[in-house]
Amino acid sequence: MTGRARSADPSVDAAVFTRRTFDGRAVALGVTGSIAAYKALGLTSALVQRGAHVDVILTRAAGELVRPLAFQALTHRPVALDLWDPAGAIAMDHVAIAHRAELFIVAPATADAVARLALGLAGDALGTTALAVRCPIVVAPAMEPRMWDHPATQGHVRTLLERGVVIVGPVGGRMASGEHGVGRMVEPDTLLEHLAAALGQGGPLHGRRIVVSAGPTREGIDPVRFLSNGSTGRMGYAIARRARDLGADVTLISGPVALPPPAALTFVGVESAEAMCAAVLDVAPTADAIVMTAAVADYKPVRYSAEKVKKQPGDMTLVLDRTPDILVALDEVVRERCDAPVRVGFAAETSDLIGHARAKLEGKNLDLIIANPVPASFGADDSEALLIDRTTVDARPLGAKADLAGEIMRRVHGLLQERDARILGRTRS
Ligand code: C5P
């Protein structure tokens, strides 16, 4: 049975859910005079590669450290340098960049830049743009640890935070001076995650609390051995990022995987099915939606040996016990609530994909289940999937997990609106 999938809110363009976060977005990047300015080149390149239109604004000091031409070559756009140069791009219309910016970044931000931003000083191209933008602002400070620690700097940082500015870093490590401490600008990869989250502020999932589980669980046999499976966590991590970049407040509960934890969300690392169950139930009371992507182990050894098990001649028998079914445990807790969170499960199947997935949808009382054929989708970047609810089956052809994540979030958004209507109906009656 293949029917048309239930549509989400028609007032929200479906493309919002599936488009890549930076694609076609106008980003203004202010670079100030820290030696970390070289990292701004990597950041610019990464943004351009992801489809962003990047306007770079260099302070005079930054222009001494990194040539404007380098940014121009990467962005294919003029670089704003001097407000007072009659031939300069920014002198023609000193707030044009600010008007089109959907995101304003200052990276690296020196102690001087942090102070100027906090005070609202507008004596240069960066300052005028900072005052004229009406989009999210992200600042990545870089300075000597003593300058960062200084009450003056900390006071300015507080002012910026109170104004809703996102401050990312600095991080600890070796400074260019040779000193060690907190003052290094975050690496562009980490910063990109915060930028994606900032761009999503006010997105269609704004104000929604979404819990995502990901990866495998490990069931210990002894201190060096465990039972587990080959889940890489990629699908769950893609969903968590997508939800975050659409404005949601995300908690990612992850079993052990090789992926670094995504930034700008709440990350909870767990090992066993029992620990994952406890973590999910802990956040369930305040969750609007729970997406269980994790490949939870169904069995665990009855006995855990504190000593490493020694090999013996002949066969060995491992006696196993069932682990809790997290979605079933969750249903028992939330079933009676009219504001029960939207619940999404996954079903990896080797046969009768639709039959098995439907049985799980009903047995675990889910709103939506995503059925994947295995081993095809296991550990790959791409996945084909069926999105199955109570009445429809929507077949998604092989595509990037990031795109599937967008489609799942579009469906979750629709289900959240149905839940809103249910809650409203209950409070009115
Ligand atoms: O029953 P099966 O394990 O195939 O169901 C898969 C779905 O149930 C997934 O969403 C998975 O995260 C979830 N699950 C669970 N607790 C378990 C096993 C699976 O919540 N113990």
Domain boundary among 199, 231, 262: 199
Supply the CATH number for residue 195's domain: 3.40.50.1950
Q: What is the largest CA-CA distance in the chain?
A: 87
Structural domain for 94, as ranges: 22-199
Total domains, the chain = 2
Q: For ligand 1, what atom is nearest to the CA of residue 356?
A: 4
Task: Indicate if 148 and 29 belong to the same structural domain.
Answer: yes
Q: For ligand 1, what atom is nearest to the CA of residue 296?
A: 18
Distance 164 CA to ligand 1 centre (A): 39
Pocket test for ligand 1, best of 239, 272, 326 (most atoms within 8 A of CB): 326
What's the pLDDT at 9?
56
Lowest mean pLDDT among 4-8, 74-78, 271-275, 343-347: 4-8
Residue 11 banded pLDDT, cuts 50, 70, 90: low
Q: How far apart are CA 371 and CA 346, in angstroms?
A: 6
What's the pLDDT at 22?
94
Mean confidence (pLDDT) of the chain: 91
Task: Indicate if 228 and 334 belong to the same structural domain.
Answer: yes
5, part of any domain: no
Average pLDDT over residues 15-30: 91
Q: Which two tokens stand for residue 163?
A: 């104004």
Residue 5 banded pLDDT, cuts 50, 70, 90: very low
What's the pLDDT at 278?
97
Residue 81 banded pLDDT, cuts 50, 70, 90: confident
Element (H, E) at 251: strand 249-254
What's the pLDDT at 18?
84
Average pLDDT over residues 385-406: 87
Task: Indicate if 122 and 262 belong to the same structural domain.
Answer: no
Q: For ligand 1, what atom is nearest to the CA of residue 323?
A: 21
What's the pLDDT at 377?
58
Task: Indicate if 186 and 279 belong to the same structural domain.
Answer: no
Bridge partner residues of 394 (DSSP): 387
What's the pLDDT at 4?
40
User: If we measure between CA atoms, which residue out of 253, 279, 246 comes closest to residue 405?
Assistant: 246
Task: Indicate if 100 and 219 belong to the same structural domain.
Answer: no
Task: Indicate if 246 and 296 belong to the same structural domain.
Answer: yes
User: If we measure between CA atoms, which residue out of 39, 204, 31, 247 comes closest to residue 124?
Assistant: 31
Task: Indicate if 187 and 232 belong to the same structural domain.
Answer: no
Domain boundary among 166, 199, 232: 199
Q: Output the pTM of the full model.
A: 0.90
Task: Indicate if 329 and 410 belong to the same structural domain.
Answer: yes
CA distances from 408 to 19, 307, 312, 413 (A): 13, 44, 49, 9
Residue 24 banded pLDDT, cuts 50, 70, 90: very high
Residue 307 banded pLDDT, cuts 50, 70, 90: very high
Q: How far apart are CA 204 and CA 11, in angstroms?
A: 10
Which residues have any ligand 1 atom within 6 Å of their CB?
Answer: 273, 292, 294, 296, 298, 323, 325-327, 345-347, 360
Task: Indicate if 105 and 229 belong to the same structural domain.
Answer: no
Distance 364 CA to ligand 1 centre (A): 9
Task: For 421, list phi and psi in degrees, rounded to 5.
Answer: -65, -40
Pocket test for ligand 1, best of 296, 330, 352 (most atoms within 8 A of CB): 296
Q: For ligand 1, what atom is nearest to the CA of residue 349?
A: 4
What's the pLDDT at 93?
65
Supply the CATH number for residue 371's domain: 3.40.50.10300
Distance 326 CA to ligand 1 centre (A): 7
| Shortest-distance Cα residue to atom 4 of ligand 1 | 347
What's the pLDDT at 19?
84
Examine the residue annotation and report whether 372 is marked as an active-site residue of this protein. Answer: no
What's the pLDDT at 7?
43
Catalytic residue among 159, 201, 229, 417: 229
Distance 392 CA to ligand 1 centre (A): 21
Residue 13 banded pLDDT, cuts 50, 70, 90: confident
Q: Do the Cβ atoms of 265 and 191 come closer than 8 Å? A: no
Residue 401 banded pLDDT, cuts 50, 70, 90: confident
Task: Indicate if 266 and 178 belong to the same structural domain.
Answer: no
Q: Tell me the percentage of the chain whose pLDDT exceeds 70.
A: 92
Task: Indicate if 291 and 255 belong to the same structural domain.
Answer: yes
Average pLDDT over residues 15-25: 89
| Shortest-distance Cα residue to atom 21 of ligand 1 | 325
Domain boundary among 149, 175, 199: 199
Residue 375 banded pLDDT, cuts 50, 70, 90: low
AA letter at 179: E
Q: How far apart are CA 380 and CA 358, in angstroms?
A: 24
Q: Do the Cβ atoms of 289 and 249 come closer than 8 Å? A: no
Distance 293 CA to ligand 1 centre (A): 8
137, part of any domain: yes
Task: Answer yes or no: is pLDDT of 325 > 70.
Answer: yes
Work out whether strand 266-269 and strand 171-174 pair parallel, antiparallel, or are unpaired.
unpaired
Q: Do the Cβ atoms of 279 and 253 come closer than 8 Å? A: yes
Q: Hey, CA dihedral for 197, 201, 204, 207, is it positive or negative? A: positive
Q: Report angle CA 232, 252, 399 to the nearest 5 degrees.
A: 50
| Shortest-distance Cα residue to atom 10 of ligand 1 | 345
Per-residue model confidence as pLDDT tens digits over 224-269: 999 999 899 999 999 999 999 999 999 999 999 999 999 999 999 9
Per-residue model confidence as pLDDT tens digits over 154-194: 999 999 999 999 999 899 988 888 888 999 999 999 999 99
User: If we measure between CA atoms, which residue out of 229, 234, 353 comes closest to residue 296?
Assistant: 229
Task: Answer yes or no: is pLDDT of 291 > 70.
Answer: yes
Q: For ligand 1, what atom is nearest to the CA of residue 294?
A: 12
15, part of any domain: no
Distance 152 CA to ligand 1 centre (A): 52
10, part of any domain: no
Q: Do the Cβ atoms of 18 and 405 come closer than 8 Å? A: no
204, part of any domain: no
Lowest mean pLDDT among 15-19, 66-70, 355-359, 369-373: 15-19
Average pLDDT over residues 107-119: 97
Average pLDDT over residues 72-100: 78
334, part of any domain: yes
11, part of any domain: no
Per-residue model confidence as pLDDT tens digits over 191-221: 999 999 999 988 999 999 999 999 999 999 9
7, part of any domain: no
